[in-house]
Amino acid sequence: MWEFKFYSRGGQGAVTAAKILINAAILEGKFGQAIPSYGQERKGAPVYTYARIADTTIDVKSYVYHPNCVVCFDPSLGDLGINVTEGIRPNSVLVANSPEKCLEHENFSTLVFVDADKITHEMVGEVPPNMAMLGALAKATGCVSIESLTKAIQMRIPGKAGELNARTCKAAYENA
> pLDDT band at residue 138, thresholds of 50, 70 and 90?
very high
* pLDDT higher than threshold 90 for residue 69: yes
Task: Look up residue 75 and give its amino acid.
Answer: P
Residue 176 amino acid letter: A
Count of residues for the chain? 176
Q: How far apart are CA 2 and CA 4, in angstroms?
A: 6
User: What is the tens place of the pLDDT at every residue in 75-133?
Assistant: 999 999 999 999 999 999 999 999 988 888 999 999 999 999 999 999 999 999 999 99
Q: On the CB side of 75, how many CA atoms lie within 13 Å of its CA?
A: 17
Q: Which CATH number does 2-175 carry?
A: 3.40.920.10
